[in-house]
Every structure is written in structure tokens, then in C-alpha cells.
Amino acid sequence: MAGYELVPVKFHDDVIDAVKLDDGEIFVSVRRVCESFSISPQGQQERLKKKPWARIKMILIRDARGHEQEAVMIPRERVAMWLATLDVNRVAKDKPELVKKIELYQNECADVLHAHFFGPKQEPTPSGMTAQQIALIVIETVKQVMAAIDHSRSVRSITRFTVAERCHHRRLTTTTKQRGKISRLASHLLLLRFGEVPDKVGGWLVWDGPQVNCLDDAIDRIMDEVIAAERQSPPARNLFSDLAGMRN
């Protein structure tokens, strides 16, 4: 496993947290950025794997509970390119201010690329803004993204569950076989509803955030089956009644 340390990285007038490897290269988590926009991390990870410019890397890191897990990371200098190609239609509808800023950022990126390869445009940019104003908008967007990432980190320690942890949280007594059925059904529901699969931490599947709804639905269904099976089973015979009948 490559060594790393969490380091503050200066971005213009802002400071963000990132992972610095032993060779000095700095990476940020694809999942953390996706969570701040409420978009599917799996979809973006698969998309970035196919992009040579992304240079993503699988890095083994420790989460807040000290468990090691592989994380898809992208170099710091490639984040701007990623945001420039992000489909804003996938960004959460309840965050219109981020959608607007990303659209503006993408328009300006297009102008910068045009100026680099074909020379500066003679007419003003669509926004009519100066480079300094655009830089301030980018900085503010990064601040909001990182604030959302920090919030998601604090929430994840509460909302992340394994099957056994969720059953215990709901004060349900289950067998190993029942928990296996719950795990398979919850994974199936998660794939159908969100096109995702649960993360694996320390060898155990975990569900977090909105994924817990799939886990709860699976628990309810399996426990309903258990209750129905118990009701259909013949009542246990009374040993004392049997003995009394034998004496007669």
C-alpha cells in the first residue's frame, strides 16, 4: 500500500483537504466530490476510468472508523477538467446555485481552450465577466463542494450500516442465514433503484445515506417472511398433555 498523509492544499485564496502520496502527488476522492453533488459515484468512477486524461488511481485509505478501503482518487490538477465535463443534469435539483456556477465555469473553460488553440476571441465572453471575477466564482464553488464533503463525512459515521448493525439498531434478532438473505435482497434493490452496489469495508457490505432505505426494505421483507412461516408452522405439542394421555 502506498503511504499517504492528509494535507491542506492552497487553491487560490482557499484551502482544501487532500491526500498526498509518498511521491508528492496530491489526489482527491471521486466519491466525496460526487456526494456533494448528489450524483452516482459509481457512474462517474466508471466514466473517469475510460478517460486517459483523468489518470485516476485506486488508493487504500482509512475511513473515520479506522477501516481500510480502496478509494477511487483523481489528481488535484485533473479536477478542473472533470468539472468542465460534468453533466449538470445529474447534479441535485435542490442545488440550483451549484448548477448555475458549474454551467458558467464550463462556458468559460470552453473560451479558455478556444483562446489557447485559436487565439483570444475578439467579442466578450457570454458572461461578460473578468478573469478575476471568474476565479472568485470557481473558488466559491470549491468552498461549497468541500463544505458539503465535510458534512457528508460527519453524517456517514451515523448513517452507514452493515446488515448486522442495522438489525441491532432496529432491535431485531436475526440468524446468520436470515442476514445473508437480507444482504442479497438489499444489494438487488440497490442495483435496481440506483444502479449502484454497496461498498465493502473490512470484508463486510455497508449501506449508507439513501442506500439504507434499500436495506430497511430488505429487512422488512425477510422478517415478514419469517413471521409468516412461523404462523404457518403447526403448534408445538404439549409434553405434559402427551404424558397424561399415555397414563389414561
Catalogue the E-assigned strands of the chain: 4-11, 14-21, 26-29, 57-62, 68-75, 199-201, 204-206
- Determine, yes or no, domain membership for 238: no
Q: Of the residues 125, 140, 157, which one is the last residue of a structural domain?
A: 157
Bridge partners (DSSP) listed for residue 72: 58
Q: Which domain holds residue 84?
A: 4-157
- At 70-91, the pLDDT tens digits run 888 888 888 878 888 888 777 7
- Determine, yes or no, domain membership for 243: no
Q: What is the pTM of this model?
A: 0.43
Same domain, 142 and 165: no
Q: Of the residues 111, 139, 157, which one is the last residue of a structural domain?
A: 157
C-alpha cell at 209: 445515506
Question: Total domain count for the chain?
Answer: 2
- Determine, yes or no, domain membership for 15: yes
Query: Which secondary-structure segment (H or E) carries 234?
Result: none
Same domain, 93 and 185: no
Percent of the chain with pLDDT strictly greater than 70: 69
Q: What is the pLDDT of residue 14?
A: 44
- At 85-131, the pLDDT tens digits run 888 777 766 677 777 777 877 887 787 777 777 776 555 555 566 66
Q: How many CB atoms lie within 10 A of CB 74?
A: 22
| pLDDT reading at 221 higher than 90 | yes
Same domain, 175 and 153: no
